[in-house]
Amino acid sequence: MHPMLNIAVRAARNAGKILLRAGEDLSKVEVQQKGANDLVTNIDKEAEAVIRDTILQSYPTHSIVGEELGEHKGKDADYQWIVDPIDGTTNFIKGIPHYAISIALKVKGRLDQAVIYDPIRGELFTASKGQGAQLNSKRLRVSKTTVLAGTVLATGFPFKNKHHMDTYTEAFKALFVHTADIRRAGCSALDMAYVAAGRVDGFFEIGLKPWHSAAGELMVKEAGGMVVDFAGGNNYNHSGNIICGAPKLTQAIIREIRPVLSESLLR
């Protein structure tokens, strides 16, 4: 295992212990409203602090961007860690056992290492650039499906971008009529990890932040998949609008939804 991936795994496992311990008594979890339909807990902050400390103990000059604690500007800007301490916070708060810790590392602006850790199931998804993606050390490959017929897709509702709801609904309908089913589980990091593992065939969502998708992006690509924005380009890090899956299936998703999308979602 790459030494920096090893540290990311250690950080994720350390945070996972905090989540599991807190999950035993959710009445003690302090919940705050961060924004419209956007919740944060004391556990998010505690887990991110542990991740940050674990990384900086080994790499004190590196930079870190986290969902809750913001940016730590290290002396070496070539190395930037991107952290989501609980992707699926609402699930966590409600006691729904489906959430994950997401950690990615960019080296000179390019994704290099990724970890998505599901502490409930003990599933550790990892990826290193050029070395493939693994689940608990077993190699992952995306689904071989090339057409929408019979597929199971994952999605996320635009709960922070409800002004896109009508357009999203049209896109959902355009896909749903062709698929076997579409799942919405509330954790985009695991959605993308499941695409990498071939558990779901594809995934699409509006308005993700880099800490939600960075680790999943590398995971999908290293498992042989494609990650694009709604126009089929590479602007997803800015727009947050993501489609991923096996290359031919991803193109099929684009073809179906593009005619119903608003101009703002095609940028």
| Annotated binding residues for Mg(2+) | 67, 84, 86-87
Report whether 92 contacts 99 (CB < 8 A).
yes
Pick the closest to residue 67 from 93, 80, 86, 53 (CA basis): 86
Burial of residue 126, with CB atoms counted within 10 A of its CB: 0-12 exposed, 13-18 middle, 19 or more buried: buried
CA dihedral of residues 186, 192, 198, 203 (deg, nearest 10) = 70
Binding residues: 67, 84, 86-87
| Pairing between β-strand 62-66 and β-strand 76-87 as defined by DSSP bridges | parallel
Residues 149, 118, 104: CA angle, nearest 5 degrees: 90
One DSSP character per residue, 51-111 reads HHHHHHHH-TTEEEEETTTEEE--SEEEEEEEEEEEETHHHHHHT-S--EEEEEEEETTEE
Backbone angles phi, psi at 81, to 5 degrees: -95, 140
Alpha helices, H only, the chain? 3-23, 42-58, 89-94, 165-176, 188-196, 210-222, 236-239, 247-257
Burial of residue 7, with CB atoms counted within 10 A of its CB: 0-12 exposed, 13-18 middle, 19 or more buried: buried
3-state secondary structure of 138: strand
